[in-house]
Amino acid sequence: MWLYVLKTAAIRASGCDRILCVQNGGLDNGVSQEELIPLFSKFSNLEGIVMLPHKQYCFVCYSDTSSAALALEKLNGFVLRKGRDPSQNVILYLCFVEKAPSSVSPSYERPPGLDIVEDFVSEKTEQALIDLMDMDLESTNKETAVMKHRKVKHYGFEFKYGINDVDVKDPLKKGIPDICHGFLNEAKERGLIHHFPDQLTINCYEPGQGIPAHVDTLEAFEDGIVSLSLGSQIVMDFRHPDGRHVSVLLPRRSLMVMKGESRYVWSHGITPRKSDIVSAETGNKESDSNGCAASIGGLTLQARRRRVSYTFRKVVMERDVIKCDKCKGNAIGDRDPEDAFVPQTDEEAIALERRHVNKVYEDIAEHFSGTRYKPWPRVVDFIMDQPSFSLLADVGCGNGKCLGANKDLYEIGSDFSSNLAAICHSRGFETCVGDVTCLPFRTGSFDVVLCIAVIHHMATKHRRYKALSEVVRILRKGGRALVYVWAMEQELNKTKSKYIKSSRQQKQENQEGGDAVDETSSNDCVASRPARSSAERLTCEQNSTVKQESEGRIADHSVIESAYASDDKSCVSEFTTSQSDNIIDSETCGSVKQISVQRVKDETSKSKSDQQDIFNDASKSYALEGSPDLDQKKLTVHVNRTQFKDQDLLVPWQLKAKPIAPCESENKTAGNENANKGDLFHRFYHVFRQGELEAMCKRLADCTVKKSYYDQGNWCVVLEKL
Ligand SMILES: O=C(O)CCC(=O)C(=O)O
Ligand SMILES: [Fe+2]
């Protein structure tokens, strides 16, 4: 019906006689520019064709009226392709239009930390690698798997899709083939990777096959994963948990290098389809020449061919967690912090935070929650001051100790740790998992935002600034935020903070475990928030039930998100939602809905200039503080309850001793060194100097600092959005 209307409307309007809209000639009909150009260039003076992503039409532009008119006359109703029956024919319907959109060019934006090195191997090596794969795939053994969507073969270590992990104690007979050593050494020499890989996965994709969106298992592989594309180019989709989506073309013989944010935060996957939307220039280069005179630009479709990828990774040998059925998730402390350095880039910062913030909170969640049960009095004052029915977000809510104080507010908590979010949720609070540097909430949606003891876990100045910008972004105009960060100065005006306590108290707390770091256990808590009894605290089983429930929701989301069922869902990035879907940013959460390109673009350009500023600033302050020039500074481990000696440091957390599980004692008798290290963790902190938080906030766009104060060893600001 629609097409019929268009057909009868194919009348030349005055002034619009050079541009044709071609219905059923779009990328979404599986039509490429290369297919249309020979057809439309018959009528001479063809200027170009504009194809739009995911549209079932395109625009054909001529430089003169008569060519366009002739094309319309001859090609309106043209059967481009015949289907099995006439109803499946692809028939072109043409009409004149006044304007064509300007040509859409592919985006060259890439997730931070992702690099594509073109022509990394020669055609000869490419062929040799494909031949090797063909030979090896014939011999079906345990290293070879035929997945639902592709064939896979492992070397060095088998990646077990059932558990999403490798068994470090069970290496495969065949290591990385010799033929790969030359180019891997080159990758190392060029600084593309920092270690020599010991695990290889070969994937073989026929046209129409793909790999589900996933993050390569964090605990299993080190940072720096490289993948060689052979036989055919392909488009890989990268998705950020905040909803951003970037399609990246991996040309034949190119090496994709995934590090930092692109490796740890973004998921990657290949949508199973038979063709990809690519830049017409690339498409033209790939395919044989079509001998057409018209210039090719914008987008087109490129048919996929069989693609083989060699993905090289370095297995993490020393594991933080004992993985066995009896004590799954029983943490044994984090890795030796000997190799933790003050990060110099955001990529390094993300890797550090993963290990010394995010993972630690996941592992200590239950114990940590047991030590956090009342909000600070001045935080409570702030909450109680808010008008009734205000909408409050507690960013980095932990177990939810700041929620529920003012019953007249609508509240939602978010935390990066899914274990803490689950605990918070189990206490009856609306909760979601969210990263403070890209919060899953709509811009301008909250009257009040709390951000207590969060920003100091960001490991670079730029990331601290980014997190503060997010707090302001989600506030409505006139809305207020309260931000607390841990202070370098634990003694002010000759008064010691409660954190610096007597050695007797220190001794006692060391025995009890934890650190009571940024929170006092004093009795000066406001009465409106009764301390929770131990009976109210979660038991281990309750905790895991909650987690399962939230995972159920995640699964639901992924059903919507992924176009097909996953065969090896090693996806780590997760997102739980509460019922407050209307607040949660449909543009930035998950990839369920399309992102607003405009907003992302605006923010990218803004954050780029901010980033520049901040880095300039950071180098200034380094110079002032006399930090080393080139040598990266090792992070010192702080001694609890003492004055801070550095701004960037690791703060120990001692898990309360638990009875030793049978499997742990087996490990001990087997001489497992890790098991003896017990349950000591280290969290990264950047403690703020006087004035540092306020100065940073003053640089934020659209907000003003209403109040700035010191409270029990913390620097605090109240911000108002302008
Ligand atoms: O085929 C590729 O390039 C990527 C494969 C991949 O992501 C994986 O095996 O984890
Ligand atoms: Fe992967």
Q: Are strands 275-279 and 299-303 parallel, antiparallel or unpaired?
A: antiparallel
Residue 300 has a pLDDT of: 77
**Rounded distance between C-alpha atoms, residue 57 and residue 51, angstroms:** 7
Question: How far lies 404's CA from each of 20, 400, 430, 484, in Å?
Answer: 61, 8, 11, 19
Q: How far is CA 693 from the centre of its chain?
A: 26
Token couple for 573: 């990035």
Residue 514 DSSP label? B
Q: Which two tokens stand for residue 378?
A: 């001045």
> φ and ψ at 11, to 5 degrees?
-115, 140
Could you please report the per-residue DSSP string of 183-204?
A: HHHHHHHTTS-SS---EEEEEE
Nearest CA to ligand 1 atom 5: 311
CA–CA separation, 628 vs 14, rounded Å? 71
Residue 105 CA, ligand 2 centroid: distance in Å = 27
Residue type, 415: D
- The CA distance from 300 to 290, in Å, is 14
Write the residue with the smallest CA distance to atom 2 of ligand 1.
309
Mutate to test the pocket of ligand 1, among 201, 239, 266 (most ligand atoms within 8 A of CB): 201
d(C-alpha 640, C-alpha 184), whole Å? 44
Say what the pLDDT of residue 497 is: 79
pLDDT of amino acid 283: 54
Residue nearest to atom 10 of ligand 1 (CA): 216
Ligand 1 mutation target, pool 115, 152, 164, 211, most atoms within 8 A of CB: 211
Residues 6+ apart with CB under 8 A from 4: none
What gap in Å lies between CA 147 and CA 134, rounded to an integer? 16
Encoding tokens for residue 311? 């993905």
Q: What angle, rounded to 10 degrees, do the helices at 461-474 and 346-353 form?
A: 80
Q: What is the mean pLDDT of each run of 10 residues along the chain (722 residues)?
A: 28 62 91 89 86 88 91 94 86 91 69 94 96 75 60 89 81 93 95 94 91 85 95 91 82 95 89 81 50 53 90 83 34 63 87 91 88 90 96 97 95 95 93 93 96 97 95 97 95 77 49 41 26 26 27 22 26 26 35 24 36 32 32 82 90 67 32 43 95 95 95 95 96
Q: What is the pLDDT of residue 505?
A: 52
Cα angle 572-575-577, degrees, rounded to a multiple of 5:
160
User: In the chain, what's the furthest Cα-to-Cα distance?
Assistant: 95
Residue with the two structure tokens 């062929």? 127
CATH of domain 2-99: 3.30.70.330
- Whole-number pLDDT of residue 634: 86
**Ligand 2 centroid distance, CA of 216 (Å):** 5
Going by the DSSP 8-state scheme, the letter that residue 354 receives in this structure is I
pLDDT at 536 (0 to 100): 27
Atom of ligand 1 at shortest distance to CA of 570?
A: 10
Place of tokens 């605090």: 716
Helix axes 359-370, 540-561, angle to 10 degrees: 140
d(CA 708, CA 703): 14
CATH for 333-487+550-651+676-722 is 3.40.50.150
Domain ranges in the chain? Answer: 2-99, 114-313, 333-487+550-651+676-722
8 Å CB contact between 491 and 459: no
CA separation for the pair 382, 407 (Å, rounded): 14
Q: Report which DSSP code applies to 13.
A: B
For the entire predicted model, the pTM comes to 0.46
CATH 3.30.1370.100 fits 114-313, yes or no: no
Give the pLDDT score at 325. Answer: 32
> Dihedral, CA atoms, 49, 53, 55, 59, nearest 10 degrees?
-10
At 296 the pLDDT is 52
Nearest to 194 by CA among 166, 226, 170: 226
Closest by CA position to 658, among listed 571, 554, 502, 540? 540
- Confirm if 713 and 497 have CB atoms less than 8 A apart: yes
For 607, phi then psi, to 5°, come to: -70, -25
Spell out which residues line ligand 1, taking CB within 6 angstroms: 201, 203, 211, 216, 227, 268, 309, 311
What are the tens digits of pLDDT across the range 189-203?
999 999 999 999 999
